[in-house]
C-alpha cells in the first residue's frame, strides 16, 4: 500500500534574502531553496512507517521553484519508491495553501494511498493549513502537530502535541492525513553517492496541470521585519548584575 | 648420531608435520586471498633487500621501548642464525658430522651459535617475565575482545615462549652434553663448556642418552610445533616481513577509494577488507604499541587498534576452513570491534606509524565507517549536521559560502581575488580559519604578515570549499568527491604558482589526496612560508621574544607530512626558548579533532587535548605559551586549557601571532613588549 508525503521547497534563510526591485517578491536569482524542515520530518516518519509495514512511500511536490527535482531525488535516495512533481504555469508564484491543496488532490487520489503525511507548517503556511485543507478536500480524517505515528489494525495511531508537554494519541480511520511536527527520530542522513546514483538511475514522474482560479494572494509589499531593540549584556560582579536585574524588573512593573 | 629407527621415526614425523603445516598455511593464504585487490609482486623484488636490511637491523622494532626491543633483538638474531644451526644439527644427527673442536670457520660458527643461544634464552626469559610477571598488556574495560582472545593471548604467548626456551635451551644443553662426552672444553663454545661441568662424572651411556634426548627436544620439538605455527603469533616471522615488503607505495595521507562489492561500499565484513588488511591480522605480534599511542584508548574510549587486529586473527583461525572456502563472515562490528570504537578514531595515524610489523588498523576503521555511512546507519547528530552543511554550503559551519571571506573586510588592505588576477601564492584558508570567530583574528594576522612581507598572494573567496580531508575520513566518499570537484573547478579559474594553506588538514588533502584527481601543484603550509620570510629578511624581528614555549605538532602536519622543522625555525628566529614535550615531531599526540571527531560529541569523557595540556604544563611553571599551527588545534586547546584550569598559567597561541608580535604588526608591538618584560 501507499503512503504519500507532500513536500515543498522554501527559501533557505541561512542565505541572505534580498527583496526584488518590484518590492513584491524576493530576488529569485539570489534565493536558494531547501526542503521545508517539517516536510523532511514527514518524509522520515513516512519512511519509518513504511519500514514497519512494507508500504511504498511516494514523494509528491509542486514545482514552484524549478529546482524541486533536487529535493525529490534526495527523497528517493532516502528510500521513497516513487517521486512525482506537479508542474504547470506557476513557477515563481507563492501558491496559496488552498491552491496548493487543490493542485495536489487529483495526484493523491490517483495514488490511492492509505496515509498522507506533510509538514505541520511551512514558512509560507505558518498557520499550518495544508494538512487540514487536504483532509477537507479529500474527506479523510486528520491530525496535526504529530510527533509519532503507528499503523496497526487498520487504523493509524497518531500522537500529537498539545501544550505544556501534554500529548494525546488519536486513532484515525484510514485513509487519513497527518501534519507532522517531528518524526520519531531525526531525519536520516543520505550519502551523496546514493543521491548521485539515484540521479543517474531513477526518474521523477511529472503531472502537468492547467491551474485555474486564483493561485496566489496578491502581494502589496514585501519587507524585512523592522529591527527591534538589541539585547543588553549585563556585566560586572554578581551583586551589580543582581541590582541591575532588579532595577530592570521594577522598571517594567514586574516586582 | 641417531640410530636407524630414530632416523626413520624422524623422517616420518617430519613428513606428517610438514603436511599438516602446509595445510594450515594454504588455508591462511586462501583466507587472505579472499580480501579485495591483489599484491603488486613487482614490489617484492624491489623491496626485499632494503626491507630485509631494516628488519635485520631491527629498525621498526627500536622505534620505541628500547629495553624490550633489545630482548627481542636477542631472540631475533638467534632465530635467524638458528636456521643454519638446525640444518647442521640435522646433518649431525643423520651423518655424525660434527663441528666440535674444529678450528677456523667451524669455531666461529660455534662461537656465534653459543653466544646467540644465551642471547635468545635471556631475551625470551625477559620477555616472558614481562608478559606474565608485569602484565603490561591490558585493554581498557570498554574494548571489545572475542571470548577466545582473552585466554588465547596468554596461551599463545606461553606456547611460543615455551617452545623457544625449550628449543634453544635443549640445543644449548645438548652442546654441553657433547662437550662433556668429548671430555674437554670447547673454547669456541664458552657458555656451553661451562654448562658441561654439570655433566662431569656422568657415565658414557647416560651422556649418550642425554645427547639423544636433547637432540630430539631441539629438533623434534620443531616438528611438533610446526603444525601449530601458522595459527600462532609466531607466524609474524613471515607475515611481518611480507607485510612490510608488499606495502603499496602510497603517501600516508592518501586513502584508497572504498572497495565496492555488489554496490556496497566499504567494509562491513572481513572479506570486504583488502587482502593486506587480512594479512595485518597475521602479522600482528600483539605488542599493543599501537594501543599505547592511541589517543582514543588513552582517554578511556572503546578503541584499541591492537584488539582489532587480534580479534581478526582469532576469528579467522577459529573459522579458517569455512572462511578460506568462501563462507560469509559475520559483520566486523560483531567480531572485530564496536561502533563506539570505530567512531572514536581521530585518524591521527599514530598506530600506523608505531607498528613494527607495518599494520594499518586505522584503515580498517575508516573502511567500516564507509560501510556504515553508506548503509545509512544513524550518525552522531552533530556529525550529520556538519555533513549536511558541507554538502549544501561547502563548510561545516552552516554558513552561506558568500560569508567565507567576510573576515577580509576588516583588513586595511584588499586581498587579491585569485580568480580574477594571477598570484604567486594561492592561499587556501580553510573552514575554521575563515568562519570560526576565534580563528578569524589569527587569519587576519597571517594576512597582515603576508602583506608586510610583500608576498604576492590571493584567495578564492566564496568559491573555496572545505577540502574534504576529514569528510573522506568520516567515510562519506561521495561528499568528499563532490567537494574535490567543486574545489578543482574553482582552482581551475585561478592562476598561481603554489598553494599555501593554514589548515594542516587542507594541506594534507591538497598535497596527498588531490593528485589522484589530476591536481599537481606545490603546496606549502603557512609555517613553511613564514619561516622562509623570516630567514630571508622579508619579515624583520623588531623585538625578540624571550618567553619559554612549547610547540604542538599537528598530526596532519608533523606525522602525516613530516613538516616539523619549519615551525621550530620560526620560534628560533623569534628568539623564543622552545621546550619539547615528550611526544613531539612525528611522534606527536593527537588533539582529538581529526577524522571528523571535531564535529562529534566527546561524550563528556576526558579529551586527548586535556592530557596534552597537562603534558605541556609538566615542562615547567614558567612555560608561557602553548604554540599551535593549526586552526583546529587553536579551537581544541583554547577549550582544553580552560577545562584543565591552566588558563592563567599557559596561553594557547598561534605561531603567526608570535611572529606578528616580534615583527610589530597592527598594534601587537605593545603586547610583545609586555611579554619581554614579564618573561624571566
**Which CATH number is A112's domain given?**
3.40.50.620
Burial (CB count <10 Å: 0-12, 13-18, 19+), residue A93: middle
Give the span between the Cα atoms of B524 and B366, in whole angstroms. 27
pLDDT of residue B138: 86
pLDDT of residue B671: 46
CB B575 within 8 A of CB B546: yes
CA trace torsion B422, B424, B427, B428 (10° rounding): 80
pLDDT > 80? residue B672: no
pLDDT averaged over every residue in chain B: 93
The total of other beta-carbon atoms located within 10 Å of residue A242's CB is: 12
The total of other beta-carbon atoms located within 10 Å of residue B402's CB is: 13
Q: Which residues of B touch A30 (CB under 8 A)?
A: none
CA distances (Å), origin B143, targets B337, B474, B604: 8, 21, 18
C-alpha cell at A34: 531547501
Contact B400 A195 (CB under 8 A): no
Least confident of A70-84, B134-148, B169-183, B507-521: B134-148
pLDDT tens for residues B302-359? Answer: 999 999 999 999 999 999 999 999 999 999 999 999 999 999 999 999 999 999 999 9
pLDDT > 50? residue A88: yes
Give the span between the Cα atoms of B559 and B442, in whole angstroms. 24
CB pairs under 8 A between A and B: 48
CB A150 within 8 A of CB A45: no
pLDDT tens for residues A107-140? Answer: 999 999 999 999 999 998 999 999 999 999 999 9
Q: Using DSSP, state whether B615 is helix, strand or coil.
A: helix
Q: Using DSSP, state whether B204 is helix, strand or coil.
A: helix
Contact A191 B378 (CB under 8 A): no
C-alpha cell at B550: 612549547
List the single residue in A with minimal CA-CA distance to B398: A14
CB B27 within 8 A of CB B321: yes
pLDDT of residue B668: 58
pLDDT: which is higher, B465 or A223: B465
pLDDT > 80? residue B648: yes
Beta bridge partners of A60: A6, A84
CB B561 within 8 A of CB B523: no
Give the span between the Cα atoms of B72 and B131, in whole angstroms. 13
- What is the 8-class DSSP label of residue B116? H
pLDDT: which is higher, B97 or B595: B595
A103 within domain boundaries: yes
A18 within domain boundaries: yes
ipTM of the complex, rounded to two decimals: 0.86
Tell me which residue in A186, A190, A192 faces B376 most closely, judged by beta carbons.
A190
pLDDT > 60? residue B673: no
CB B117 within 8 A of CB B172: yes
Angle at A44 between CA A43 and CA A48, to 5 degrees: 115
A188 within domain boundaries: yes
Contact A192 B392 (CB under 8 A): no
pLDDT > 70? residue B174: yes
pLDDT of residue B636: 93
pLDDT tens for residues B441-452? Answer: 999 999 999 999
pLDDT > 60? residue B176: yes
* Min distance A79 CA to chain B CA atoms (Å): 10
pLDDT > 90? residue B670: no
Give the span between the Cα atoms of B210 and B214, in whole angstroms. 6
- Tell me the average pLDDT across B86-94: 93
Domain count, chain A: 1
> Closest Cα partner for A86 from A69, A214, A97?
A69
> Closest Cα partner for B251 from B87, B469, B58, B407?
B469
Give the span between the Cα atoms of B557 and B469, in whole angstroms. 13
Contact A15 B402 (CB under 8 A): yes
- Tell me the average pLDDT across B284-294: 94
Beta bridge partners of B163: none
CB A78 within 8 A of CB A35: no
pLDDT of residue B677: 36
pLDDT of residue B409: 93
pLDDT of residue B667: 58
> Closest Cα partner for B173 from B131, B121, B125?
B121
| Cell 658441561, located at residue | B196
pLDDT > 70? residue A32: yes
Residue B440 has, within 13 A of its CA and on its CB side, a CA count of: 13
pLDDT > 90? residue A16: no
pLDDT averaged over every residue in chain A: 92
Give the span between the Cα atoms of B327 and B344, in whole angstroms. 30
C-alpha cell at B28: 591462511
pLDDT of residue A230: 78
pLDDT tens for residues B205-247? Answer: 999 999 999 999 999 999 999 999 999 999 999 999 999 999 9
Interface test with B, best of A17, A191, A200 (most B CBs within 10 A): A191
pLDDT tens for residues B352-411? Answer: 999 999 999 999 999 999 999 999 999 999 999 999 999 999 999 999 999 999 999 999
Give the span between the Cα atoms of B659 and B448, in whole angstroms. 11
Domain hosting A157: range is 2-208
A11 within domain boundaries: yes
A79 within domain boundaries: yes
C-alpha cell at A241: 548584575
A248 within domain boundaries: no
* Percent over 70 (pLDDT), chain B: 98
C-alpha cell at B207: 651422556
A164 within domain boundaries: yes
pLDDT of residue B666: 61
Does A185 lie at the interface with B, CB-CB under 8 angstroms?
A: yes
C-alpha cell at B526: 603557512
A240 within domain boundaries: no
pLDDT of residue B64: 86
Burial (CB count <10 Å: 0-12, 13-18, 19+), residue A26: middle
> Closest Cα partner for B372 from B399, B338, B419?
B338
Give the span between the Cα atoms of B136 and A45, in whole angstroms. 50
Interface of B with A in 366-385 (CB under 8 A): 373-374, 376, 378-379, 381, 384
pLDDT > 50? residue B680: no
DSSP per position, B113-168: HHHHHHHHHHHHHHHHIIIIII------TTS---HHHHHHHHHHHHHHHHHHHHHH
Does A14 lie at the interface with B, CB-CB under 8 angstroms?
A: yes
Contact A189 B482 (CB under 8 A): no
All structural domains of chain B: 1-63+235-378 (no CATH), 65-136+145-226 (no CATH), 391-531 (no CATH), 539-678 (3.40.50)
Amino acid at each position: 500500500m501507499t503512503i504519500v508525503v507532500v513536500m515543498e521547497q522554501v527559501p533557505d534563510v541561512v542565505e541572505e534574502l534580498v527583496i526584488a526591485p518590484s518590492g513584491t517578491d524576493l530576488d529569485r536569482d539570489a534565493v536558494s531553496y531547501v526542503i521545508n524542515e517539517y516536510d523532511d520530518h514527514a518524509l522520515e516518519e513516512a519512511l519509518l512507517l513504511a519500514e514497519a509495514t512494507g508500504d511504498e512511500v511516494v514523494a509528491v511536490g509542486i514545482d514552484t521553484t524549478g529546482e524541486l527535482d533536487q529535493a525529490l531525488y534526495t527523497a528517493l535516495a532516502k528510500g521513497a519508491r516513487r517521486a512525482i512533481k506537479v508542474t504547470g504555469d506557476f513557477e515563481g508564484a507563492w501558491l496559496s495553501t488552498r491552491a496548493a491543496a487543490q493542485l495536489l488532490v487529483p495526484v493523491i487520489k490517483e495514488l490511492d494511498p492509505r496515509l498522507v503525511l506533510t509538514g505541520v507548517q511551512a514558512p509560507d503556511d505558518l498557520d499550518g493549513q495544508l494538512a487540514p485543507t487536504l483532509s477537507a478536500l479529500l474527506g479523510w480524517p486528520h491530525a496535526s502537530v504529530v510527533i509519532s505515528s503507528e499503523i496497526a489494525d487498520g487504523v493509524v495511531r497518531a500522537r500529537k502535541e498539545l501544550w505544556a508537554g501534554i500529548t494525546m494519541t488519536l486513532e484515525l480511520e484510514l485513509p487519513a492525513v497527518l501534519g507532522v511536527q517531528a518524526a520519531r527520530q531525526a531525519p536520516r542522513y543520505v550519502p551523496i553517492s546514493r543521491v548521485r546514483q539515484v540521479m543517474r538511475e531513477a526518474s521523477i514522474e511529472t503531472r502537468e496541470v492547467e491551474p485555474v482560479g486564483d493561485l496566489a494572494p496578491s502581494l502589496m509589499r514585501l519587507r524585512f521585519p523592522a529591527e527591534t531593540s538589541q539585547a543588553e549584556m549585563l556585566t560586572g560582579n554578581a551583586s551589580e548584575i543582581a541590582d541591575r536585574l532588579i532595577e530592570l524588573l521594577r522598571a517594567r512593573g514586574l516586582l | 648420531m641417531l640410530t636407524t629407527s630414530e632416523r626413520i621415526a624422524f623422517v616420518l614425523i617430519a613428513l606428517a608435520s610438514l603436511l599438516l603445516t602446509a595445510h594450515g598455511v594454504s588455508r591462511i593464504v586462501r583466507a587472505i586471498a579472499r580480501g579485495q585487490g591483489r599484491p603488486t609482486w613487482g614490489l617484492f623484488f624491489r623491496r626485499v633487500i632494503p626491507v630485509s636490511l631494516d628488519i635485520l637491523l631491527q629498525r621498526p622494532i627500536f622505534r620505541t621501548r628500547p629495553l624490550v626491543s633489545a630482548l627481542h633483538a636477542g631472540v631475533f638474531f638467534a632465530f635467524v642464525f638458528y636456521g643454519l644451526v638446525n640444518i647442521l644439527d640435522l646433518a649431525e644427527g643423520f651423518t655424525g658430522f660434527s663441528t666440535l673442536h674444529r678450528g677456523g670457520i667451524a669455531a666461529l660458527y660455534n662461537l656465534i651459535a653459543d653466544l646467540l643461544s644465551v642471547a635468545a634464552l635471556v631475551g625470551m626469559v625477559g620477555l616472558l617475565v614481562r608478559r606474565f610477571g608485569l602484565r603490561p598488556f591490558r585493554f581498557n574495560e570498554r574494548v571489545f575482545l572475542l571470548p577466545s582472545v582473552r585466554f588465547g593471548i596468554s596461551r599463545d604467548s606461553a606456547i611460543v615462549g615455551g617452545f623457544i626456551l625449550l628449543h634453544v635451551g635443549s640445543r644449548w644443553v645438548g652442546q654441553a652434553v657433547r662437550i662433556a662426552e668429548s671430555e674437554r672444553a670447547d673454547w669456541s663454545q664458552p657458555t656451553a663448556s661451562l654448562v658441561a661441568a654439570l655433566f662431569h662424572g656422568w657415565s658414557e651411556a647416560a651422556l649418550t642418552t642425554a645427547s639423544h634426548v636433547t637432540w630430539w627436544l631441539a629438533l623434534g620439538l620443531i616438528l611438533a610445533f610446526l603444525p601449530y605455527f601458522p595459527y600462532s603469533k609466531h607466524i609474524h616471522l613471515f607475515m611481518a616481513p611480507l607485510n612490510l615488503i608488499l606495502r603499496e607505495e602510497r603517501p600516508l595521507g592518501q586513502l584508497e577509494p572504498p572497495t565496492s562489492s555488489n554496490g556496497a561500499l566499504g567494509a562491513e565484513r572481513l572479506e570486504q577488507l583488502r587482502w593486506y588488511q587480512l594479512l595485518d591480522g597475521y602479522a600482528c605480534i600483539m605488542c599493543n604499541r599501537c594501543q599505547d599511542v592511541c589517543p582514543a584508548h588513552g582517554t578511556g574510549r572503546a578503541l584499541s587498534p591492537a584488539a582489532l587486529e587480534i580479534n581478526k586473527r582469532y576469528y579467522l583461525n577459529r573459522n579458517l576452513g569455512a572462511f578460506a572456502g568462501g563462507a560469509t563472515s559475520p559483520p566486523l562490528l560483531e567480531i572485530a570491534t564496536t561502533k563506539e570504537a570505530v567512531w572514536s578514531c581521530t585518524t591521527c595515524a599514530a598506530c600506523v606509524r608505531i607498528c613494527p610489523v607495518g599494520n594499518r588498523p586505522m584503515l580498517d576503521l575508516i573502511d567500516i565507517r564507509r560501510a556504515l555511512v553508506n548503509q545509512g546507519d544513524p550518525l552522531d547528530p552533530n556529525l550529520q549536521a556538519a555533513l549536511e552543511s558541507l554538502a549544501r554550503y561547502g563548510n561545516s559551519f552552516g554558513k552561506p559560502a558568500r560569508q567565507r571571506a567576510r573576515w577580509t573586510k576588516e583588513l586595511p588592505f584588499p586581498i587579491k581575488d585569485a580568480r580574477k588576477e594571477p598570484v604567486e601564492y594561492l592561499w587556501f584558508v580553510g573552514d575554521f580559519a575563515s568562519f570560526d570567530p576565534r580563528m578569524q583574528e589569527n587569519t587576519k594576522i597571517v594576512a597582515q604578515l603576508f602583506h608586510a612581507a610583500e608576498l604576492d598572494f590571493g584567495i578564492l573567496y566564496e568559491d573555496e570549499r572545505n577540502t574534504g580531508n576529514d569528510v573522506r575520513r568520516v567515510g562519506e566518499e561521495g561528499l568528499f568527491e563532490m567537494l574535490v570537484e567543486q574545489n578543482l573547478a574553482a582552482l581551475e579559474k585561478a592562476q598561481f604558482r603554489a598553494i599555501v594553506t593554514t589548515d594542516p588538514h587542507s594541506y594534507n588533502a591538497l598535497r596527498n589526496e588531490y593528485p589522484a584527481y589530476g591536481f599537481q601543484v606545490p603546496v606549502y603550509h603557512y609555517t613553511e612560508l613564514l619561516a622562509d620570510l623570516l630567514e630571508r629578511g622579508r619579515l624583520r624581528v623588531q623585538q625578540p621574544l624571550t618567553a619559554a614555549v612549547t610547540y604542538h605538532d599537528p598530526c596532519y602536519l608533523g606525522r602525516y607530512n613530516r613538516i616539523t622543522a619549519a615551525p621550530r625555525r620560526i620560534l628560533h628566529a623569534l628568539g623564543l626558548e622552545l621546550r619539547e614535550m615528550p611526544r613531539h615531531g612525528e611522534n606527536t599526540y593527537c588533539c582529538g579533532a581529526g577524522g571528523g571527531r571535531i564535529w562529534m560529541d566527546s561524550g563528556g569523557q576526558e579529551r586527548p587535548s586535556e592530557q596534552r595540556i597537562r603534558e605541556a604544563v609538566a615542562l615547567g611553571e614558567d612555560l608561557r605559551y602553548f604554540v599551535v599551527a593549526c586552526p583546529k588545534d587553536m579551537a581544541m586547546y583554547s577549550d582544553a586549557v580552560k577545562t584543565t584550569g591552566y588558563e592563567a598559567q599557559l596561553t594557547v597561541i598561534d605561531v603567526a601571532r608570535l611572529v606578528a608580535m616580534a615583527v610589530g604588526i597592527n598594534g601587537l608591538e605593545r603586547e610583545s613588549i609586555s611579554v619581554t618584560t614579564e618573561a624571566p
